[in-house]
């Protein structure tokens, strides 16, 4: 707590001490500040290269990437996901995003029959 607690005066009933509240920081200001600190935008090519690197990295390298706090959180999270219990699903999702979902081919055979009824008699034609 800042200041001297003995000098604090409680607010009277219904009194508003800070009607505007704490000033909100606009997203533009946050982005401007981050850019000034050296953060850069992630391009699609950078994302693709990161995915390709992480998918082909060995376990020890993934562990290093997941624990290196100097790297972007994007890399830490992806590396942890690949090493986690659902690693196969993470890799599958990454590959789907990089190359698109695999095309599955289905062979369908349609046969039609024509059935004519004449009273109690049925005649089938193929």
How far apart, in whole angstroms, are the C-alpha atoms of residue 8 and residue 23?
23
Read off the pLDDT of each residue in 76-94 and give the average, rounded to a whole number. Answer: 92
Range of the domain at 73: 26-101
Q: Is 41 part of any domain?
A: yes
Pairing of strands 121-125, 114-118: antiparallel
Q: Is 123 part of any domain?
A: no
Is 118's pLDDT higher than 80?
A: no
- List, for residues 35-50, the tens digit of each pLDDT value: 999 888 888 898 889 8
Q: Is 16 part of any domain?
A: no
How far apart, in whole angstroms, are the C-alpha atoms of residue 29 and residue 32?
5
- List, for residues 71-80, the tens digit of each pLDDT value: 988 899 999 9
**Residue 122 or 46, more confident:** 46
Q: Is 125 part of any domain?
A: no
**Residue 4 or 80, more confident:** 80
Half-sphere exposure in the Cβ direction for 85 (13 Å, CA): 0
| Spatial CB neighbours of 87, under 8 Å, sequence gap ≥ 6 | 81
**Residue 113 or 85, more confident:** 85
For the chain, the first-to-last Cα distance in angstroms comes to 90
Q: Is 31 part of any domain?
A: yes
The 10 Å Cβ neighbour count of residue 90 is 20
pTM of the predicted structure, to 2 decimals: 0.54
Is 61's pLDDT higher than 90?
A: yes
Q: Is 111 part of any domain?
A: no
- List, for residues 28-37, the tens digit of each pLDDT value: 888 888 899 9
Tell me which long-range contacts 37-43 makes (C-beta under 8 A, separation of at least 24): 42/72, 42/74
Q: Is 40 part of any domain?
A: yes
- Asked if residue 43 lies in contact with residue 51, where contact means CB atoms within 8 angstroms, the answer is no
Read off the pLDDT of each residue in 49-74 and give the average, rounded to a whole number. Answer: 92
**DSSP 8-state symbol, 20:** T
* Total domains, the chain: 1
How far apart, in whole angstroms, are the C-alpha atoms of residue 68 and residue 14?
51
Q: Is 53 part of any domain?
A: yes
């Amino acid at each position: 707590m800042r200041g001297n607690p003995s000098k604090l005066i409680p607010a009277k009933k219904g009194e508003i001490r800070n009607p505007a509240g704490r000033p909100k920081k606009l997203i533009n200001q946050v982005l401007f500040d981050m850019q000034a600190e050296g953060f850069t935008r992630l391009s699609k090519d950078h994302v693709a290269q990161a995915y390709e690197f992480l998918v082909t990295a060995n376990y020890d390298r993934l562990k290093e990437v997941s624990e290196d706090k100097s790297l972007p959180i994007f890399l830490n999270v992806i590396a942890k996901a690949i090493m986690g219990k659902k690693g196969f699903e993470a890799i599958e999702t990454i590959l789907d995003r990089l190359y698109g979902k695999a095309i599955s081919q289905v062979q369908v055979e349609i046969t039609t029959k024509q059935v004519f009824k004449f009273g109690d008699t049925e005649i089938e034609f193929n």
